[in-house]
């Protein structure tokens, strides 16, 4: 089938290639920069007052090299790394020694995925629906006002926008907590638990939905203004098809397709935004974990986060690519 050959297979190949090269890059970068994390850690321990005798230093070096997968030739290390990736074994975390990195990731990842998935979906839907309607009625004043507001919001980076919301709604006007949700053992999922999660997730999600939505809004508005001039829309208008049907089934439905492709393209950036927002609000996800790992020089953890994120994003992109033909018959029935 041509669909399989021209659409499906290239995307699967791309999926495998991006993961392969991405993880290889994560492996190679530390080795190219000429920095030795092991030496750094030992230096760190020594500056923190622990005087180590030479034998202890050598033993520690060996242990750390073992743990970090830094033993043997470059090739051996590389093969070894892939074996560890497949076993989801990234060694121990340094700042929560000896908790394995994979254990930390297992705790924090669901929080990130939850925030990432809901806020991205909400932003996409909200931005596209509002942008579509504003684009269709682009000469009306409410559409212009909305556009002007978005012109100010859109260029603000995630981190700054998050800080602004945090100051406004957690300090000046203390409606929401300024972060600090602890990840304890989850006991029962009751209403209180859900309410707590909502309270702590509201501002991070708001940041992501507003900023993301602003972007989708503007693109959709442009797209709709173009689609509106297409023959099939003008013809349906001439034929007296109801305006509601024209907006939804003719204009939005068609303008939506490039927005799905676009979503796949920017998903990596969107994910980066999620991590930054998590840092602002101390939301217990990968972003916060990353912040702690970076500020404490925990290479293993940073690498684990990077590798897992590459998996998450590429898989999400693949899912979008697989979803697309369901919505575009020109791809499905070639």
Partner 1 sequence: MDAIITVENLQAFYVLEVMGERKVIKAVNGVDFAVLRDEVYGIAGESGCGKTTLLKAIFAALEPPLRIFEGKVYYYPNGERVDAFSLAGEARRKLRWTYISYIPQGSMSVFNPVKRLRITFLDFLKSHVGGKREEELLTLAREHLVRLGLTPQVLNGYPHQLSGGMRQRVAIALATLLKPRVILADEPTTALDVVAQRAVLQLLRDVQKEFRSTIIVVTHDMGIHAQITDRMAIMYAGRIVEEGLTKDIFARPLHPYTRYLIQSLPKVGDKNTKESAPGSPPSLLYLPPGCSFHPRCSEVMEHCVQEIPPLKKINESHWVACWMREG
Partner 2 sequence: MEALRELFRDYRFAVGFVFLVLLAALAFLSFFSPYDPVRWLQVPRDEPPSWKHILGTNAKGQDVFWEATFAIRNSLVVALIAGLVSRVVAVLVGFLAGYKGGVVDRVLMGVADGLLVIPLFLILVLVAMLLREAMTIVNTGLLLAFFGWAWDARTIRAQILSLREREFTQTSLLSGNSTLSLVSKEYVPFTIPLIFSTLISNIAWAIGMEIVLAILGLVRLEIPTLGTMLQWAITRQAMLLGHWWWIATPLALTVILLVALYWLSVSVSEYLDPRMRIQRIGAR
Distance (Å, rounded) from C-alpha 197 to C-alpha 176? 12
Selection from partner 2, partner 1, none that 239 binds (CB < 5 to 8 A by kind) is: partner 1
Distance (Å, rounded) from C-alpha 174 to C-alpha 162? 15
Contact call for residue 155 and partner 2 (CB under 8 A): yes
Distance (Å, rounded) from C-alpha 100 to C-alpha 300? 9
Say if residues 258 and 227 touch (Cβ distance below 8 Å).
no
Residue 100 has what DSSP assignment?
B
With respect to partner 2, which residue has the nearer C-beta, 247 or 275?
Answer: 275
Other C-beta atoms within 10 Å of 76: how many? 11
Please, which residues have CB within 8 angstroms of residue 24's CB and are 6 or more apart in sequence? 78
Residues 249-278 that bind partner 1 (CB under 8 A): 249-250, 253-254, 257
Tokens of 285: 């996800």
Burial degree of 165 (CB within 10 A; 0-12, 13-18, 19+): buried
- Considering only 238, 244, 295, 326, the residue that binds partner 1 (CB under 8 A) is 238
Q: Mind giving me the DSSP string for 53-89?
A: -HHHHHHHHHHHHHHHT--S-HHHHHHHHHHHHHTT-
Contact call for residue 140 and partner 1 (CB under 8 A): no
Please, which residues have CB within 8 angstroms of residue 143's CB and are 6 or more apart in sequence? 133, 134, 135, 137
CB of 330 to partner 1, least distance (A): 5
> CA dist 153 to 87, 148, 173, 217, Å?
43, 9, 21, 12
Contact call for residue 234 and partner 1 (CB under 8 A): yes
Contact call for residue 138 and partner 2 (CB under 8 A): no
Contact call for residue 208 and partner 2 (CB under 8 A): no
Selection from partner 2, partner 1, none that 134 binds (CB < 5 to 8 A by kind) is: none
- Considering only 232, 265, 319, 323, the residue that binds partner 1 (CB under 8 A) is 232
Selected range binding partner 1 among 25-33, 247-255, 279-287, 316-324, rule: CB under 8 A: 247-255
- Considering only 48, 75, 240, 244, the residue that binds partner 1 (CB under 8 A) is 240
Residues in the chain: 334
- Considering only 194, 245, 265, 322, the residue that binds partner 1 (CB under 8 A) is 245
Q: Which residues bind partner 2 (CB under 8 A)?
A: 14, 17-18, 21-22, 25-26, 29-30, 33, 35, 37, 151-152, 154-160, 163-164, 166-167, 171, 226, 265-269, 271-272, 275-276, 279, 290-291, 294-295, 297, 299, 302-303, 305-306, 309-310, 313-314, 317
Positions that interact with partner 1 (CB under 8 A): 230-232, 234-236, 238-242, 245, 249-250, 253-254, 257, 327-330, 333
């Amino acid at each position: 089938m041509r669909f399989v050959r021209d659409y499906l297979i290239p995307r699967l190949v791309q999926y495998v290639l991006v993961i392969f090269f991405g993880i290889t890059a994560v492996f190679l970068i530390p080795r190219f920069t000429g920095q030795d994390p092991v030496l750094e850690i030992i230096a760190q321990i020594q500056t923190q007052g622990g005087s180590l005798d030479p034998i202890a230093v050598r033993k520690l070096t060996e242990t750390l090299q073992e743990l970090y997968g830094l033993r043997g030739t470059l090739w051996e290390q590389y093969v070894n790394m892939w074996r560890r990736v497949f076993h989801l074994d990234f060694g121990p975390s340094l700042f929560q020694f000896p908790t394995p990195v994979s254990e930390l990731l297992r705790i924090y990842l669901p929080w990130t995925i939850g925030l990432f998935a809901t806020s991205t979906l909400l932003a996409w839907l909200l931005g596209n629906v509002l942008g579509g309607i504003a684009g269709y009625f682009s000469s009306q004043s409410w559409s212009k006002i909305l556009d002007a507001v978005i012109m100010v919001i859109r260029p603000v980076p995630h981190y700054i926008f998050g800080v602004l919301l945090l100051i406004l709604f957690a300090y000046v006007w203390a409606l929401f907590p300024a972060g600090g949700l602890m990840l304890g053992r989850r006991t029962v999922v009751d209403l209180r638990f859900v309410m707590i999660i909502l309270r702590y997730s509201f501002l991070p999600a708001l940041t992501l939905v507003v900023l993301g939505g602003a972007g989708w809004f503007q693109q959709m508005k442009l797209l709709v203004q173009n689609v509106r001039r297409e023959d099939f829309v003008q013809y349906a208008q001439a034929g007296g098809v109801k305006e509601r049907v024209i907006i939804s089934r003719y204009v939005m439905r068609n303008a939506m397709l490039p927005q799905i492709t676009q979503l796949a393209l920017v998903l990596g950036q969107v994910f980066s935004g999620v991590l930054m927002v998590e840092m602002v609000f101390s939301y217990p996800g990968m972003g916060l974990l990353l912040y702690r790992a970076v500020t404490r020089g925990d290479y293993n953890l940073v690498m684990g986060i990077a590798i897992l994120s590459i998996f998450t994003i590429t898989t999400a992109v693949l899912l979008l690519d697989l979803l697309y033909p369901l919505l575009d018959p020109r791809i499905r029935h070639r």
